[in-house]
Chain A
Amino acid sequence: MLRSIVPNVVYEPPKKFKIGYPDDFSEGITFLSKHRLFVIREGNTFWTISAVCTHLGCTVNLVTFPKPKKVKVGKKEFTEQWEFHCPCHGSKFYGEGTPFAGPAPRPLPYYPLDIAPDGQLIVDTSREVKSDFRFVLNV
């Protein structure tokens, strides 16, 4: 009888959803507050990073730098124009998602992007992809 309180159906929005046309996104990083998602554009290359902190689920804040910063992640070095700071317990993530301060254990997940038949970008938050995932528009 207790099995009855394990939900079989839920009323929730779908995990795969459209986020707008590629041309609607300015160069750089955009925050979609409704979906708790960051979309980054570099020319015709797009990728998304989740804004949900991997420690305990708060929404991280975007912190941008006027001058790009050089950081080292593992063996790779790269320059970043922004970071993510979580207000709840002080976790801090590099622009590419790796945590470098605070209690967050894992990097911010990336979600795959694709183009829907009507031309809009579509994100699939039901599965994660590696941090080198990039979606390139066929123009």
Chain B
Amino acid sequence: MADNKKPANVFEDKYWKDSILIYIVGIILAVFTGIVIYRTANPEWKKYQREFVKIAEKKIGKEKVAKIDLGIRQIWNKELMGPNTADRCVTCHLGVDVPGLEGDDVPVVFRTHPNPNGLLDKHPLNKFGCTVCHGGLPNALTVKEAHAEHGVRWLYPTYTREMQKKYKFEEDRLVMLQINCNQCHRFDKDVPGMDYINLAKDLVVEKNCQSCHIIDGYGGNIGPNLTYEGDKSHEMFDIHAPYYVIKDGKPVESGHTIAEEMKRRGLPYSVFSWHILHFEEPRSITPTSTMPNHGFNKDEILALTMLVMSWKKVNIPSRYLSNPGKYQMLRLMEEGRIKPQKIEYVSLASTSPETAAETTAGQAETAEEFQVEETAMKEAAESSGGNADLAAKGKELFGTRGCTACHTVGGGRLVGPDLKGVAERRDKQWIIHMILNPDSMIQNDPVAKQLFQEYNVPMPNQGVTPEEAEAIYEYLKSASK
């Protein structure tokens, strides 16, 4: 229509360009939708599964591989992991329960799960899952999240060889996961496969840590309660406090912080590193600490750190616990239903349900029984005429009351002086007072004060009773001969 005047009813579309824009945006949206669909259809784990099929077929043949289910795979044990999550590690780790995939020619991720000492027979995969031992985020399906690598907000990452390298373990096997073993095997000793934890537990007995620390609900109160040290949040460790070095036996500010010390050694900023530094030299972290430097070597430090990080409150049904009776004892102690007492660790080899019950029953479980035992002990002490008996009792107490933490008798100077011949150097009253009230002696007695200047570590009050002090004195006297 070439008229000048427009007919009245003609519709003129002034914004026709919008239509073109809609088509363009529509195409862009279609591209985005395509990307979304592609990404959903090709998650990271599918890549691993394809890779697995290729490698496994070459190694064990197509027939066997065809029997392996693909897709999202999970191990779900409601008792162990709760109803809300499952272990999906087996989506990528497809070879763990497939025999024939051992060896260096198979990438670690696809390898058959090793079975040292019949481990898998006692901890079947489809019952225990993976994360209870290995750590990590159970129901994640990407490597980064499942392993809870740095950056992922999950407190318990998978223990990997990379992690072990960072902490300077000189091991090719995965040893850090012994930390998790100890959640169920806390009250076992000499467990095959838990060499680091076993070593640490032996050290705890040898160095008598319970003389200053409450461990497993029982012990001294010089240092903090370590029963659930592994549950302490990272917020409770101040790594920006100054780091001290020991010069001439005294702690001196190094000029840099604990964090900087970690950085210098190439250690990660972690609670694990904190414990490493602390076990190496307690006063480097807390200069006023009375905890002695026991001179632990590298392996011992790593083992003790692992042990301490493993001490957590566990939410595991008792069917899964080794020696559940001991866990029960710990709980009863916390509830105040039995008196605090030392829980003996039991050698795993000897643990059949019967022996476990026996050893547990052997320890006083009720308040009345405990009282009876205590009274009996007292009466025995009072009635013991022979000094030899008293000295023998004193020797035992010298160990169990924590003296060996700092003193030897004839073994040289430790944190405190060698006590061989002390009964000849000092009179009985002085020795008894030192045992019963070392804190006040250091304040008021000139000899004690001088010793404190020399050794620079205050002797802690171990809460020894007068009868016990008598016995210890008898032992020291007899050991002086």
Report A-B touching, CB under 8 Å: yes
Interface residues of A (CB under 8 A from B): 18, 20-21, 23-27, 30-31, 33, 41, 59, 61-64, 66-67, 87, 116, 118-120
Residues on B with C-beta less than 8 A from A21 are: 336, 340
* Contact of A26 (CB < 8 Å), options: B223, B232, B235: B223
The answer to whether B231 has its CB under 8 Å from any CB of chain A is: yes
B336 touches A24 (CB 8 A): no
When C-beta atoms are compared, the residue in chain A nearest to B240 turns out to be A63
- What is the total of A-B residue contacts with beta carbons within 8 Å? 52
Q: Roughly how many angstroms separate A31 CA and B241 CA in the complex, as a whole number?
A: 18
- 11 A-B contacts, Cβ less than 8 Å apart? A20-B336, A24-B214, A24-B340, A25-B221, A26-B220, A26-B224, A31-B236, A33-B236, A66-B251, A87-B235, A116-B336
* Contact of A30 (CB < 8 Å), options: B225, B231, B336: B225
A50 CB, nearest partner CB in chain B, Å: 16
* Contact pattern, B 205-236, Cβ under 8 Å of A = 1, otherwise 0: 00000000010000011111100000111011
The answer to whether B286 has its CB under 8 Å from any CB of chain A is: yes
B221 touches A61 (CB 8 A): no
When C-beta atoms are compared, the residue in chain A nearest to B217 turns out to be A24
A86 CB, nearest partner CB in chain B, Å: 11
Q: Roughly how many angstroms separate A61 CA and B224 CA in the complex, as a whole number?
A: 16
B288 touches A66 (CB 8 A): yes
Residues on A with C-beta less than 8 A from B222 are: 26-27
When C-beta atoms are compared, the residue in chain B nearest to A21 turns out to be B340
B287 touches A119 (CB 8 A): no
Q: Roughly how many angstroms separate A61 CA and B287 CA in the complex, as a whole number?
A: 20
The answer to whether B79 has its CB under 8 Å from any CB of chain A is: no
Residues on A with C-beta less than 8 A from B454 are: none
B221 touches A26 (CB 8 A): yes
A33 touches B233 (CB 8 A): yes
Residues on A with C-beta less than 8 A from B424 are: none
Residues on A with C-beta less than 8 A from B336 are: 18, 20-21, 116, 118-120
When C-beta atoms are compared, the residue in chain A nearest to B460 turns out to be A27
Q: Roughly how many angstroms separate A98 CA and B241 CA in the complex, as a whole number?
A: 22
Interface residues of B (CB under 8 A from A): 214, 220-225, 231-233, 235-236, 238, 241-242, 244, 251, 286-288, 334, 336, 340, 463
Q: Roughly how many angstroms separate A20 CA and B231 CA in the complex, as a whole number?
A: 18
Q: Roughly how many angstroms separate A125 CA and B475 CA in the complex, as a whole number?
A: 49
- With contacts A20-B334, A21-B336, A87-B235 taken as known, whether A30 is within 8 angstroms of B224 at the C-beta atoms is yes
A27 touches B236 (CB 8 A): no
A42 CB, nearest partner CB in chain B, Å: 12
B286 touches A66 (CB 8 A): yes
B340 touches A61 (CB 8 A): no
A63 CB, nearest partner CB in chain B, Å: 6
Residues on A with C-beta less than 8 A from B236 are: 31, 33, 61-62
A23 touches B340 (CB 8 A): yes
Q: Roughly how many angstroms separate A6 CA and B221 CA in the complex, as a whole number?
A: 46
Residues on B with C-beta less than 8 A from A24 are: 214, 221, 225, 340
Additional A-B contacts beyond A24-B214, A26-B214 (14; CB < 8 A): A23-B221, A24-B221, A24-B225, A24-B340, A26-B221, A27-B221, A33-B231, A33-B232, A33-B236, A61-B235, A63-B238, A64-B238, A66-B251, A118-B336
Q: Roughly how many angstroms separate A27 CA and B231 CA in the complex, as a whole number?
A: 21
Q: Roughly how many angstroms separate A23 CA and B217 CA in the complex, as a whole number?
A: 11
When C-beta atoms are compared, the residue in chain A nearest to B228 turns out to be A33
* Contact of B287 (CB < 8 Å), options: A23, A26, A66, A116: A66
A28 CB, nearest partner CB in chain B, Å: 9
**Which 4 A-B pairs have CB atoms at the shortest separation, nearest pair first?**
A26-B221, A66-B287, A118-B336, A120-B336
Residues on A with C-beta less than 8 A from B214 are: 24, 26
Residues on B with C-beta less than 8 A from A118 are: 336
Residues on A with C-beta less than 8 A from B334 are: 20
Residues on A with C-beta less than 8 A from B225 are: 24-26, 30
Q: Which of A63, A66, A67, A119 has the most CB of B within 10 A?
A: A66
Residues on B with C-beta less than 8 A from A27 are: 221-222
Residues on A with C-beta less than 8 A from B241 are: 63
Residues on A with C-beta less than 8 A from B231 are: 33
Residues on B with C-beta less than 8 A from A23 are: 221, 340, 463
A49 CB, nearest partner CB in chain B, Å: 16
Residues on A with C-beta less than 8 A from B463 are: 23
B112 CB, nearest partner CB in chain A, Å: 41
Q: Roughly how many angstroms separate A61 CA and B235 CA in the complex, as a whole number?
A: 7
When C-beta atoms are compared, the residue in chain A nearest to B214 turns out to be A24
Residues on B with C-beta less than 8 A from A116 are: 336
Residues on B with C-beta less than 8 A from A31 are: 236
Residues on B with C-beta less than 8 A from A59 are: 235
Residues on B with C-beta less than 8 A from A119 are: 336
Q: Roughly how many angstroms separate A126 CA and B72 CA in the complex, as a whole number?
A: 50
Q: Which of A20, A30, A119, A120 has the most CB of B within 10 A?
A: A20
When C-beta atoms are compared, the residue in chain B nearest to A22 turns out to be B221
When C-beta atoms are compared, the residue in chain A nearest to B335 turns out to be A18
When C-beta atoms are compared, the residue in chain A nearest to B218 turns out to be A24
Q: Roughly how many angstroms separate A24 CA and B336 CA in the complex, as a whole number?
A: 12
Q: Which of A24, A59, A64 has the most CB of B within 10 A?
A: A24
Q: Roughly how many angstroms separate A81 CA and B63 CA in the complex, as a whole number?
A: 70
Q: Roughly how many angstroms separate A20 CA and B236 CA in the complex, as a whole number?
A: 21
Residues on A with C-beta less than 8 A from B242 are: 66
Q: Roughly how many angstroms separate A24 CA and B82 CA in the complex, as a whole number?
A: 32
